[in-house]
Structure formats: C-alpha cells, structure tokens
Amino acid sequence: MSETRFTDQHEWVRVDGGEGTVGITRHATEQLGDIVFVELPEIGKTLAKGAEAAVVESVKAASEVYAPVGGTVTAVNEALNGEPAKVNADPEGEGWFFKLKLTDVAELSALMTKAQYDAYVKGL
C-alpha cells in the first residue's frame, strides 16, 4: 500500500515499499504558473533529505525542487523533457519528477499527511 507525504516546500513523496516517487503539489503549480522547463536529477545520484534535487522553470519564475526524503535516484520522468506542461496538468500523477530508493523510511514521519498539508496551505 502506498502512502503520500508532503513538505512545507510543496513537494510530495508517494512511498510504496522502499521506493518513493517525488513531485510538486498542485498548490506549487498554481503559484508557478505555466511550467516551461524541468531539470531532473541524474539516475544513481544520492540525495540527502532537503537537498536540491531538480529545477522547475515557469513563465513566472525558476524554483528548486528538494528531496523530501533521502535516497538514491532510480528513475526520472523523461516525458517531462519534451512535455513539461504535464506537471501543470497532473502534478500529483503523470507530472512526477523522479523516483528514489529511500535511505531511511523513518524520515517520512517528519513529513505532513494530506490533511496536515491541506491545513498548512489554507493557512498561507
């Protein structure tokens, strides 16, 4: 069974077993506007929790995407190279950025649940 957790920087990680899929939230895409470019991490790169993992550029701004948990990148969403707008269309689905093998599953406990994240965004 998968579990999705969120950061205060508007990243999400959906964990299934020891692997996590990472992307940015709908709130983040609404703040950024139309996404025109995504720079993805290299497969095999090891990321610490909170480390810069990717870059997303929109018509408004460029923004870093941080690793919500530590791990080693196992896959990237190559489809975003040719169609970065997938992030706007389906940010918490087909618009995912990368997958990683988690270093420490316990790091998830420091992240927000969907209900906690929704309340956090409402307070912004």
Report DSSP letters for 31-89, one per residue: HH-SEEEEEPPPTT-EE-TT-EEEEEEESS-EEEEE-SS-EEEEEE-THHHH-TTHHHH
Which residues constitute the domain of residue 68? Answer: 3-104+112-122
Q: Residue 34 has what pLDDT?
A: 96
CATH of the domain at 55: 2.40.50.100
For 5, the token pair is 């957790």
**SS3 state at 57:** strand
Q: Residue 2 has what pLDDT?
A: 84
Compute φ and ψ for 29, nearest 5 degrees: -65, -35
Q: Residue 113 has what pLDDT?
A: 97
Q: Which residues of the chain are modeled with pLDDT < 70? A: 1
Q: Residue 18 has what pLDDT?
A: 92
In the chain, the N- to C-terminal Cα span, in Å, equals 31
**SS3 state at 109:** helix
With a threshold of 0.75, does the pTM exceed it? yes
Domain count, the chain: 1
Beta-carbon count within 10 A of 108 CB = 16
Mode of pairing for the β-strands spanning 19-24 and 46-47: unpaired
